[in-house]
Amino acid sequence: MVASGLRPNPITYEFLAACTPVWQQALHWYSELREVSEPGSDILFRSWCSIIRKTCQSGIWAQALDLWHQPPAPPSDQAMNRVAAVLVRARKWEIAIDFLRSCPGLRAQPDAMTYMQVMQLCDYGGQWEWNIALLKEMKVVCGHEDLTETMEDRLTRAHVGGAYSAAISSSDRARQYLLAIEIFEELRSRSDQGITPALITTSIAFGAAKKVLQELQAASAAKDLAKVRTEQRRKQVL
């Protein structure tokens, strides 16, 4: 087409970038698209999301992050959630943290769904400390104090609850039982906002409480045993 003097329009380039299964070729068409598209145009933004997804699915994480750091416009919630979903499927929590940490520099604000997905990924990866930090960050960044009965806010409640569940699960996996119980109690306190724990989360919290009780009982028994042995030694001396 170019050899004949004709230059593809942006829609053609977007189609070529989206349809090619090879990420290198898709990246080539995306580069061509950038030359003929208006900066920040919807078509350029859609293609940018598509090529990031292709590079992630191909395991080319360095290229994916490089593209993520060079958006044609500030990423939307939808774009961030698509990238987060790909990273969750690939079980790449390190990349997900890098992705989330770069959002402020891109003038992007993650929503509750983005946090939930990254926190679930950290749970899979055994990163309970990251989940505690991300839960605190989500409460500051996203707020969620005035949720209504719209479908959007119902989904937000589910995502906030999912983020809490990930923090509780990862704390329990790390044997941080008191912390898991503390987060569960905080989640229960938000029931007036319609944010309630799932059945599996409640089960994890009760299991953590049982383990704490067992540890306390074991510690008490060990203390009593130590007293008995001390008394026996004292009598032997006498």
* pLDDT digit string, tens, across residues 166-198: 999 999 999 999 999 999 999 999 888 888 888
* pLDDT digit string, tens, across residues 7-42: 677 778 777 777 777 778 888 888 888 887 777 677
The average confidence (pLDDT) of the chain is 80
Q: How confident is the model at residue 1 (pLDDT cuts 50, 70, 90)?
A: very low
* Torsion angle of C-alpha atoms 227, 233, 235, 238, degrees rounded to 10: -140
In this predicted structure, the answer to whether residue 146 has a pLDDT above a threshold of 60 is: no
Residue 118 is given by DSSP the state H
Reported as type and span, the H/E element at residue 233 is: helix 199-237
